Amino acid sequence: MEKTFSMIKPEAVLGGNAGKIMTAVEESGLKIVAQKMLRLSPEQAGSFYAVHRDKAFFDELIENITAGPVIVQVLAGENAIEEYRRLMGAANPAAAEEGTLRRLYGISIEKNAVHGSDCAETAEREISFFFNQLEIMQ
C-alpha cells in the first residue's frame, strides 16, 4: 500500500465540487485515510509550495490557494501516487484527458481543482506538512 497527498483547491470547494471529487477518488479504488478542511495563510502556502518560489506564477499560485478553504487528504492504495495523478489528469485542464478531475472541475491551469504529490519523497513531505501519525488511518 502506497500513500499520496491530495488537496482539493478553493475553486473546487467553493464551486461545490468537493463531494464529486471524493466520490471519484473512492470509485477509483483509492481509500481516503485522512482528511481535513482548512484555510492556508500566505506564509503556510508559500512554505507548502516552496519549490515553486522562483517561478513566474508563484504569487498567483499563493493568491489562488489562499482564496478559500482547501480539503487536504491522504489517499492510500496500490501505486497511489501514479493512480491519483492519472485520475487528476494534466495540470492544464484544457490538455487533461476526458473524465479526469482537472478536465471535469478545473477552470484554468492556475485554478486546476486538485493537487497531488508527484513522487514518493514529495508525498512524504506533503503528508507530514498537514498530518501527524494519529490522524492517518492505517
Return the active site residues: 115
**Closest separation in Å from C-beta 55 to ligand CMP:** 7
- 14, 38, 91, 119: which one contacts ligand CMP (CB under 6 A)? 91
**Residue 50: HSE in the Cβ half-sphere, 13 Å Cα cutoff:** 8
**Closest separation in Å from C-beta 67 to ligand CMP:** 12
Q: How many residues bind ligand CMP (CB under 6 A)?
A: 8
- Identify which of residues 2 and 110 has a Cβ nearer to ligand CMP in the complex: 110
**115 is a site residue for ligand CMP (CB under 6 A):** yes
Give Cβ neighbours of residue 89 (< 8 Å, ≥ 6 apart): 96, 97, 100, 101, 102, 103
**110 is a site residue for ligand CMP (CB under 6 A):** yes
**22 is a site residue for ligand CMP (CB under 6 A):** no
Q: What is the rounded distance in angstroms from the CA atom of residue 114 to the CA atom of residue 126?
A: 14
* Segments of 25-117 assigned E as strands: 31-38, 70-77, 114-116
The three three-digit cell numbers of residue 95, written as one number? 490538455
